[in-house]
Amino acid sequence: MAESAGGRQDPKKLGVEDNAEDLFKFWMAACDNLADGGIVRDMTSNSAALIDWLIDDLGAQPVDEWEMCGGGNGLGDAGRG
């Protein structure tokens, strides 16, 4: 499973099955089930709408997975020192 916003259309276009329930399970496991399940459920249930809003309404650009996972710090030039 890709760690993205559960239910977003972009992963589906790439053949990646992703949904809010799988994202919830991922984050709970990542937190050793110590996170507040209600907060994690809210976050994962609403993550697709949040990403849609960021991209569609605010013009944000999706970040390449490489930048998020060690290939860069996701900060662009601001993070270089």
Write the pLDDT tens digit of every residue in 26-35.
889 999 999 9
Q: Is 36 inside any structural domain?
A: yes
Please report whether residue 65 resides in a domain: yes
58, part of any domain: yes
Residue 1 lies in a domain: no
Helices (H), ranges, the chain: 9-13, 20-30, 37-52, 65-68
Please check whether residue 32 lies inside any domain of the structure. Answer: yes
Question: What gap in Å lies between CA 46 and CA 67, rounded to an integer?
Answer: 24
DSSP-derived 3-state class of residue 35 = coil
How wide is the angle at C-alpha 62 spanned by C-alphas 3 and 46, nearest 5°? 55
Reported confidence tier of residue 80, pLDDT bands at 50, 70, 90: very low
| Owner of token pair 């050793």 | 32
Domain that holds residue 24: 9-79
Total of domains in the chain: 1
Closest CA to 22 of 36, 8, 10: 8
pTM flag (> 0.75): no
